Chain A
Amino acid sequence: AQSVSQHNHHVILSEAASLELGCNYSYGGTVNLFWYVQYPGQHLQLLLKYFSGDPLVKGIKGFEAEFIKSKFSFNLRKPSVQWSDTAEYFCAVKEADKLIFGTGTRLQVFP
């Protein structure tokens, strides 16, 4: 079965800093990959997804992610974070019509 690793458990940044959150999945083949964001006290919202095609995926709120098949990675990036990006970020892979989530990365952005 697939598994997802998010090695950054807690990231603290100042506003305007660049962000990269790591995500690795366990084995190859055709993969469908997702990044979700969970703002404090709220539900998960889809940031972006990769199904096929261009490995550089653009999402909402200025986020993007790059699928690198050789590295089994799907890292999330944002060039300049804002205080409002403070949230929990989850990477997920689709397996047999269910999502397997990573353990999440807590991002704190200070003004």
Chain B
Amino acid sequence: DTAVSQTPKYLVTQMGNDKSIKCEQNLGHDTMYWYKQDSKKFLKIMFSYNNKELIINETVPNRFSPKSPDKAHLNLHINSLELGDSAVYFCASSQVLGTGGGYTFGSGTRLTVV
């Protein structure tokens, strides 16, 4: 059973399009995240949700909109895609702060904007 699963694994699209990436976790974790890994492998948090509530929203263009229908799902919708959005997007989940757990990452979605 995959703990944190993302779809699609690869996404190639043209500039200006709108696309979504889906994430689901079956670990019973309360918190989910989106991280962006750029071409230099640098990882930066974008969003965090706890029990469907947005708790972290870093400096991300408002073309990016996360949606959490329930605590097991966190989707990422991107409008008007730009070349600079090309990256690998990782979903992750964790237990509530302070319980000693780490973060479990999904396998990533490689987004290429052409």
Contacts and interface: CB of A to CB of B under 8 A. Distances in A.
Contacts of B50: 97
Given A98-B33, A98-B48, A103 B42 contact: yes
**A interface, over-half SS:** strand
Contacts of B67: none
**B interface, over-half SS:** strand
Q: How large is the interface on B (under 10, 10 to 19, 20 to 34, 35 or more residues)?
A: 20 to 34
Given A43-B90, A43-B106, A98 B43 contact: no
Interface residues of A, number: 21
Contacts of B45: 98-100
A88 interface: yes
B44 A101 contact: yes
A97 B97 contact: yes
Interface of A: 34, 36, 38, 42-46, 49, 51, 88, 90, 96-101, 103-104, 106
